[in-house]
Amino acid sequence: MTKLRAVFAALAILVLARPSCWAQTKINVETTAGSAGAALFAAKAEGFFEKRGLDINIMIVNLMPNFPPALVAGSADVAFMVTTTFLQAVDGGLDLVAFVGGSAITHRMTDTAVVAATGLSLKSAPDFIGRKVGVPGLGATLQVMFRHWLRQNGVDFDKVNFAEVSFPTMRDMLAAKNVDAVVATDPFVAQMVNTGVGYLAVALNPSMPAGKPLVMYTSTRAWAEAHSKEVVAFRAAITEGAAFVAANPDKARDDINVYAKLPPQIIKVIEIGDQIPALDPEGLQWWVDVMKEQRMLNTTPDVTKLVLK
């Protein structure tokens, strides 16, 4: 009996000492397979979530406009959402918050770009007038960035025809000439350029102010308030993931490719955007101003209430 009690005591100590091994909080996270989510994929693969008691279920969804309804319906707890989709959802009356940043604009990158179909000559803004351009979601950040670039270069963006094309189908759509160009990010830019179906026509980042948030981790306000401890743990894991990506870019590419599923020769050359977990309302305000110029918002969201500290 003494030995049996000792075994039970040892097991009890183990349970108390390692609670995360026994009770993980499951969180469903919707994202696309782009390299902007490098910190998320690294945090999952390297165990940064698990050691904080979080069981992260990553769900790849190809069209960004599907993210806000999923949060409201409860089919996703967290969405790695582009800033413009987030702001449009808030403008439409949804009570959403952002609680940690993903990637941000950086001038060193060419991974956010317009890729034109091989055989066409599209480079300057007037070249795109009357052309059909695929974007990963109407109103998505990439469309807003391209329209901003067109406007900066004297072209009315209403003269360009936009079509919704999911990231995984962009290569085939471009190869079949169903669209003249697409606006994409890595690893999809690298895939299209390196397989010869398109060429990098316009690098968008240099025309944008550096540091503005491109993609953020978001949820409903109700979920975030009911899961404050999980939000803190999630933010810490993403922060650790961002540091890991910066220090280990090759391993980070492997972690991304668990979901991107690209050939090795392509995944090894993709660019990884700056992972910036810190969020500030000022960064959101720039997007609000640009979107107002593009007639995308009916209201002026109070950005100070949208970033959860």
Q: How far apart are CA 152 and CA 147, in angstroms?
A: 9
Cβ–Cβ under 8 Å, residues 139 and 65: yes
What local confidence, expressed as pLDDT, does residue 6 receive?
46
User: Measured between alpha carbons, how far apart are the two ends of the chain, in Å?
Assistant: 52
Return the biggest CA–CA distance within the chain: 86
What local confidence, expressed as pLDDT, does residue 15 receive?
40
Q: How far apart are CA 55 and CA 205, in angstroms?
A: 34
What local confidence, expressed as pLDDT, does residue 132 receive?
98
What local confidence, expressed as pLDDT, does residue 21 receive?
45
Q: pTM above the 0.85 mark?
A: no
What local confidence, expressed as pLDDT, does residue 180 receive?
97
What local confidence, expressed as pLDDT, does residue 78 receive?
98
Look at the block and give the residue holding tokens 């994409």.
184
What local confidence, expressed as pLDDT, does residue 131 receive?
97
Encode the chain (309 residues) as per-residue pLDDT tens digits: 444 444 334 434 434 444 444 468 999 999 987 778 999 999 999 999 999 999 999 999 877 788 999 999 999 999 999 899 999 999 999 999 999 999 888 887 777 899 999 999 999 999 999 999 999 888 888 899 999 999 999 999 999 999 999 888 999 999 999 999 999 988 889 889 999 999 999 999 888 898 899 899 999 999 999 999 999 999 999 999 999 999 999 999 999 999 888 888 878 888 788 899 999 899 999 999 999 999 999 999 999 999 998
Contacts of 286 (CB under 8 A, 6+ apart): 209, 212
Q: How far apart are CA 94 and CA 68, in angstroms?
A: 8
Backbone angles phi, psi at 193, to 5 degrees: -70, -45
Sketch out the chain's domains with CATH numbers.
Answer: 24-105+211-299 (3.40.190.10), 113-207 (3.40.190.10)
Q: How far apart are CA 192 and CA 213, in angstroms?
A: 25
Q: How far apart are CA 177 and CA 160, in angstroms?
A: 16
Peptide bond into 249 cis (omega under 30): no
